[in-house]
Amino acid sequence: MIAKTSCQHCGQHIEFEVENAGETVPCPSCGQQTQLLLPKVKKAENDPYLPAPREESKSEMPDATKVLIGIIGLAVVVIPLVLIGHHQSVQQQAARNLEEALNPRTSYADQADADIAKAMAQQENIHWKATNGFADGEFEYATNLLSDHDPFLTKEALKWLQKSADQGYQPAIELLATHEPKSPLDSTDSFLWENRGTDLSQTEEDLTSTYNPAVFNGERYITYDRSITIANGKVVLKAEDKIHNDNDRELTDLMAKEAANNKIFLEIGQEAQINPIFDKFLEWAATAKANNVEQFEKQFLCTTNHFGLPLESAQTVRTYTFSWQDGQASLLITDSSRDSVAMLTAEDILSLQKLLLRLPQMKQKLATAIRDKEAQKNLFK
């Protein structure tokens, strides 16, 4: 670019390149040394196009402008923080993904499969120990057979228990000594157990009624209903008291005794165990009456039985409690597996004992009915 200056001696105009500004050169007119200076630009004081000097400004910034500037400032601060946080989150997720790839989590299905495999491995280990002559393995294998609640495995379990006891294994000796397991099923019981899924049943009832005008005003009477039913591999003893009117309509809202749960559930083959319990109860009742004892309550038996086998693994706990109040004896039976309670009087038990005597004949009838039903099915195959 070309700039102009004047000689500092004669005033002659001199043209020069801008990049040479500040140099000293001889004047082409007078020959004197002069300095090449760039001309100074002066601003007009009243030029309307020039902004007023800042120090002389007295105007204030508008509120909208202040808000906008604040938003811009906040954005300048927040946006980088958000970007940094997002970047860190992405990095953390990537680290988690890498951890999952290296150490994958076990799903519920995988855990269930692992538990099943572990249980199977334990059972295989027990069987291996039993078959290789380890006394503890023989005992564990026997108790596993018993805990299946299948009477057909009782004989096999007995064999392994005896093997373990012969080696001096104390738990096996104690189990055999406490209550030697015996197969409770005869041929009829076995047949009924095998066909326990049928919908047939046999029931015997012992029904008596009492008409007491003094109590029921000559309009109502009470029935004592005792029954024994065999079906689905179970024997059920039931004792109910019902109040009726003269039209033989049950008045359940006036029942003096809550007997809806007065039922005893027994597996096929277990019914023989209830007779000694009934005999013990009747013996205590006679003793209490003969000695005119004061009222008391005492538990005299607690069983955790499946087919007569006391097992720690058994889930059913049944307790039998003798109660003597107001000169009357009653037997309280609680069953944890059914969360039920039965309260039987001496009269109830005497009636149920009579019904138990009919049980063998009932089993034969039921077995015959099942065979007839199967024979009819076979006719139309």
Tens of pLDDT, residue by residue over 188-206, are 888 888 888 888 998 988 8
In sequence order, the 6+-apart residues with CB closer than 8 A to the CB of 323 are 296, 297, 329, 330, 331, 332
3-state secondary structure of 363: helix
Per-residue pLDDT at 323: 92
CA 205, CA 365: separation in Å to the nearest integer? 15
In sequence order, the 6+-apart residues with CB closer than 8 A to the CB of 63 are none
Q: Half-sphere exposure of residue 274, counting CA atoms within 13 Å on the CB side?
A: 24
Higher pLDDT, 329 or 250: 329
The answer, yes or no, to whether residue 287 has pLDDT greater than 90, is yes
The answer, yes or no, to whether residue 167 has pLDDT greater than 70, is yes
Confidence of residue 257 (pLDDT cuts 50, 70, 90): very low
Q: Per DSSP, what are the bridge partners of residue 302? A: 319
Q: Per DSSP, what are the bridge partners of residue 296? A: 324
Per-residue pLDDT at 249: 59
Q: Is the dihedral of CA 136, 137, 140, 141 positive or negative?
A: negative
Relative to beta strand 296-303, strand 263-267 is unpaired
Per-residue pLDDT at 196: 84
The answer, yes or no, to whether residue 56 has pLDDT greater than 50, is no
CA 127, CA 136: separation in Å to the nearest integer? 11
pLDDT digits (tens, 9 = 90+) for 82-126: 777 766 777 777 777 766 666 665 565 677 677 777 878 888 888
CA 71, CA 209: separation in Å to the nearest integer? 96
Residue 377: how many CB atoms within 10 A of its CB? 9
DSSP letter assigned to residue 196: T
CA 299, CA 248: separation in Å to the nearest integer? 39
Per-residue pLDDT at 215: 52
Entry pTM: 0.50
| Residue located via tokens 């049980």 | 359
Average pLDDT over residues 213-232: 72
Closest CA to 273 of 188, 336, 358, 184: 184
Tokens found for residue 137 = 């393995």
Instruction: Report whether 205 contacts 227 (CB < 8 A).
Output: yes
